[in-house]
Amino acid sequence: MCYMLRTVSVFLLLALSACATVDGPIPPGQVFVMRHLQAESGEDPALTEAGRQQAQLLADWFGKSDKPNAIFVTRFRRSQETAAPLAARLRIRPILYDPSNNDALTEAVKAKGGNALVVGHSNTVPDIVERLGGARPAQIQHHEHGDIWRVSERGGTVEKLRLEKNPPRGKRGD
């Protein structure tokens, strides 16, 4: 009887632990977090011509093994326009997130699994990287565009990459 009770108890503990929510590493894949690309000034500005060219470059930037299966953008035009060429190329509908609720974004990214791109803002990117398990990057300056933080599948490992025409092969997972 004692053996049977112990077996049932172990089974129940395993079943409950499988249902538990854990704030741990993201599921297998990589999360790329970036600030929107260069934008005009104003309340909800569009990308500049340079920003639009960078957005086209972003569509070419991802290698075969690290292209995202999910793209997260804010309601702001500059965030959406940054991701638009890549989303069109991959035939992915970007997922809107509230930039004032990074906890909900983190949970959505983790739930999606696989590779993801998050397009944020200068005041949100450091917090997003940290909430995904990486070391918090320095605050992004207003003039800085084109940096991409790759948070590894195991969390805690962050690599700062740069949007450029020909990134080194080892940097993208080709």
Domain of 41: which CATH number? 3.40.50.1240
Residue 7 falls within a domain, yes or no?
Answer: no
Confidence of residue 137 (pLDDT cuts 50, 70, 90): very high
How many structural domains are present in the chain?
1
Tens of pLDDT, residues 78-132: 999 999 999 999 999 999 999 999 999 999 998 998 999 999 999 999 999 999 9
Chain centroid offset of residue 110 CA: 10
For 156: left if phi > 0, alpha if psi spans -120 to 50, otherwise beta; the answer is left
Pick from 74, 75, 76: nearest CA to 46: 76
Residue 73 falls within a domain, yes or no?
Answer: yes
Residue 19 falls within a domain, yes or no?
Answer: no
Rounded to two decimals, the pTM is 0.80
Domain that holds residue 62: 26-172
Pick from 168, 173, 33, 28: nearest CA to 105: 33
89: β partners: none
Residue 8 falls within a domain, yes or no?
Answer: no
Q: Residue type at 165?
A: K
Whether 65 contacts 115, CB under 8 Å? no
* Spatial separation of the C-alpha atoms in residues 110 and 165, rounded to whole Å: 29
* Spatial separation of the C-alpha atoms in residues 38 and 23, rounded to whole Å: 33
